[in-house]
């Protein structure tokens, strides 16, 4: 069983628990490593991170916990950096590169705020054409990877978070767009998340990427990292058993972990 997680949100952004509560839960569960990944500040969405000062307090708290619990668990200071956020002004030990918005003019449309908001984005910005939306989204995922050179590519196919709820299959055109992005991203050497966050929220019954895309990733030479995209300490390792099985079924034998020397790969 995987005993590490690097996509962890706390009350400093949109998570439920304090960092200390997360650390104590991780130790209780036998974790060896825990990485925190506060959302980057975006002026257009103060619901997630209400002020820039929040980031300063977050950094101070995580570094203090890192020192306090250094003999019990490795703790890393990370940031989930959105494409449209300003570049980090502080030193973080790792970055997750993610796309949460589609931009039109000066307006930022969230693609991660529920199925109704997702429908609004597709209808308003793409005339109801989900495949056109997917093509732009995957081009933005490539852009965030090129722009910030993250250590992890966050929830690669986030736009399928609600696919089971709205009965949305992976069309040929959708898969073609996703596979083009994978081919462009693999040479960068950045591992892709296998993300179980939507499962813990009752939105999906499987992790994402899908089995089809995982197999294509493996065949293309991609690397992976397991992530619970945790917003609640009770779900710190939620769905990891299924995620491991899916990874092995696709052919993967290793997964990435953050270390003081960057990402290294361990047997699954």
Which pLDDT tens digit goes with each residue over 133-154?
999 999 999 999 999 999 999 9
Distance from C-alpha of 176 to C-alpha of 85, rounded to nearest angstrom: 28
**Phi/psi of residue 34, each to 5°?**
-140, 125
Measure Cα distances from 93 to 77, 200, 234 in Å. 5, 26, 25
Q: Which residue stretches of the chain have pLDDT < 50? A: none
Contact 42, 49 (CB under 8 A): yes
Closest CA to 160 of 181, 131, 140: 131
The 10 Å CB-count burial string (b at 16+, else e) for 144-169 is bbeebebbbbbbbbbbbbbbeeeeee
Distance from C-alpha of 46 to C-alpha of 30, rounded to nearest angstrom: 35
Contact 173, 113 (CB under 8 A): no
Q: Which helix (H) or strand (E) holds 68?
A: helix 52-68
Largest CA distance in the chain: 55
- pLDDT score of 46: 67
Closest CA to 254 of 266, 236, 240, 237: 266
- pLDDT score of 51: 81
Domains of the chain: 4-267 (3.20.20.140)
Residues 87-116: tens digit of each pLDDT? 887 789 999 999 999 999 999 999 999 999
Q: Does the predicted model carry a pTM greater than 0.75?
A: yes
End-to-end CA distance of the chain: 8
SS3 55: helix
């Amino acid at each position: 069983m995987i005993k590490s997680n690097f996509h962890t949100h706390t009350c400093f952004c949109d998570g439920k628990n304090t960092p200390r509560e997360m650390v104590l839960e991780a130790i209780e569960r036998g974790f060896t490593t825990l990485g925190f990944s506060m959302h980057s500040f975006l002026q257009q969405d103060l619901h997630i991170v209400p002020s820039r000062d929040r980031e300063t307090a977050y950094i101070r708290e995580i570094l203090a916990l890192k020192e306090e619990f250094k003999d019990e668990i490795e703790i890393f200071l990370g940031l989930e950096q959105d494409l449209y956020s300003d570049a980090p002004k502080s030193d973080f030990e790792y970055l997750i590169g993610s796309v949460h918005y589609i931009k039109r003019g000066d307006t930022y449309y969230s693609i991660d705020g529920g199925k109704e908001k997702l429908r609004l984005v597709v209808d308003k910005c793409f005339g109801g054409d989900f495949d056109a939306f997917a093509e732009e989204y995957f081009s933005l995922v490539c852009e965030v990877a090129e722009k910030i050179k993250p250590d992890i590519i966050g929830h690669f196919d986030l736009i399928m978070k609600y696919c089971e709820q709205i009965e949305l299959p992976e069309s040929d055109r959708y898969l073609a767009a996703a596979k083009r992005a994978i081919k462009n991203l693999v040479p960068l050497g950045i591992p892709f998340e296998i993300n179980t966050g939507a499962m813990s929220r009752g939105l999906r019954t499987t992790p994402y990427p899908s089995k089809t895309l995982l197999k294509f990733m493996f065949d293309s030479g991609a690397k992976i990292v397991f992530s619970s995209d945790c917003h609640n300490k009770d779900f710190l390792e939620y769905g990891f058993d299924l995620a491991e099985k899916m990874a092995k079924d696709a052919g993967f034998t290793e997964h990435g972990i953050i270390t003081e020397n960057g990402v290294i790969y361990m047997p699954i």
